[in-house]
Amino acid sequence: DVTFENILVEIVGSGDRKTGLIRLNRPKQLNALSDPLMDELGRALLAFDADDGIGCIVLTGSERAFAAGADIPTMAPHTFMSAFKSGLISKNWETILQVRKPVIGAVAGFALGGGCELAMMCDFIIAADTARFGQPEIKLGIIPGAGGTQRLPRAVSKSKAMDMLLTARMMDAAEAERAGLVSRVVPADQLMSEALAAAETINGFSGPSTMLIKELVNLAYQGPLTDGVAVERRYFHALFGSDDQREGMDAFLAKRAPSFKHR
Ligand code: CO8
C-alpha cells in the first residue's frame, strides 16, 4: 500500500462501485501545489482510474483552501533557462486529464492560480459558499501556466476571464455559479455530502456511458462542433450493442430499477 505525504486518499460509498476521495493536504501552505504533491495526486488519480471498484473520483482540499496556487517558494528562484529545461513543475499537472472516469472538484475556500486551474481540470465543480476563485498570477509578475488563460474564458466568458486575469480579483461562489464556473453552490458544511452524493449517483450508472459522456463533453470544448456531434452520433449508435442499453430500457419499460453490468 502506498502512503502519501501531501494528500489523503480514501475509498467511500455503499454501493458495489465506490468513490475514490482525494484530499489535498498541505494545510500550512493552504494546499500549495508543490511538485511532490502533484506527483502523489497523479499517482492516486491513475490508481483510482485503473480500479474497477471505483466509479468516480472526488477531489477536494480543506475548509480554508482547495489550493492557493502552485508553490511560490519553489518557483521563485527559477530563471527562464531553468524553468524551460526542467519543464517547471509541469510533469504531473495534466495527469488528471488522462483520467477516463468522472472527476468532481469539491471546492471550499481559496482556489487560486494553479488551484483554480486544477479545479477547472475537474469535470465539474461543486462549490461551498465559502469558495473563492482567482487567477492572481499577474500580481507575481507572471501569467497562468496550467491552462488558466484558456479554460477560464471557456468557463466564464471572455469579459469575466479578462477581468479576473488582468485585475487579479477573486470571484465568490455566487458569482462563480452565475458565470457558469461551478455547477452548484452549497452551504460549506454540506459540501462533502453533496459531492459524495453526486458521485454515488454516477457510480450507479453504466461505466462506459459515464466515460463516453466525459470524453464527448471534453471534445465539445476542444474541437469543432460538427466533429463533436458526428463522433457523438457514432457512439450513440454503438451503445445499442451494449447489455446496459438493453437493461436500462427494459427496466424503464418494466417500471423497475436497472441493474447495470458494465462498471
Ligand atoms: N505557495 C506557497 N505557500 C503559500 C501559497 C502558495 N501559492 N499561498 C499561501 N501560502 C502560504 C503562505 O505563505 C502562508 O505561509 P506562512 O504561514 O508560513 O507565512 C500560509 O500559506 C498562509 O497564507 P497567508 O498567511 O497569506 O493567509 P491569508 O489568509 O492572509 O491569505 C491568500 C490567503 C490570499 C490565499 C494568500 O496566501 C495568497 O495570496 N497566496 C498566494 C496566491 C497566489 O498568488 N497564487 C498563485 C500562485 S502562481 C501559480 O499558481 C501559477 C501556476 C502555474 C502552474 C504551472 C504548471 C506547469
In short, whether 113's Cβ falls inside 6 Å of ligand 1 is yes
Per-residue pLDDT at 171: 98
Per-residue pLDDT at 224: 81
CA dihedral 30, 97, 41, 132 (to 10 degrees): 10
Q: Answer whether 187's CB lies under 8 Å from 129's CB.
A: yes
Same domain, 195 and 234: no
- 114 a catalytic residue: yes
Of the candidates 99, 26, 63, which has an alpha carbon nearest to the alpha carbon of residue 192? 63
Per-residue pLDDT at 195: 98
In short, whether 112's Cβ falls inside 6 Å of ligand 1 is yes
Per-residue pLDDT at 29: 97
In short, whether 260's Cβ falls inside 6 Å of ligand 1 is no
3-state secondary structure of 134: strand
Determine, yes or no, domain membership for 259: no
CA distance 105 to 30: 16
In short, whether 89's Cβ falls inside 6 Å of ligand 1 is yes
Range of the domain at 244: 207-253
Determine, yes or no, domain membership for 54: yes
Per-residue pLDDT at 262: 85
Same domain, 143 and 241: no
CA distance 233 to 71: 43
Determine, yes or no, domain membership for 258: no
> Which residue in 20, 42, 117, 155 is the catalytic one?
117
Same domain, 112 and 23: yes
Per-residue pLDDT at 223: 79
Question: What order do you get walking across the sheet with 171-172 strand by strand?
Answer: 65-67, 110-112, 132-134, 171-172
Same domain, 22 and 138: yes
ipTM of the complex: 0.98
> Which residue in 69, 114, 145, 248 is the catalytic one?
114
Q: Answer whether 59's CB lies under 8 Å from 104's CB.
A: yes
CA distance 135 to 153: 12
pLDDT along the chain (263 residues), means of 10: 89 94 98 95 98 97 97 89 80 92 98 97 98 95 90 94 97 98 98 98 96 95 78 79 88 90 84
- 146 a catalytic residue: no
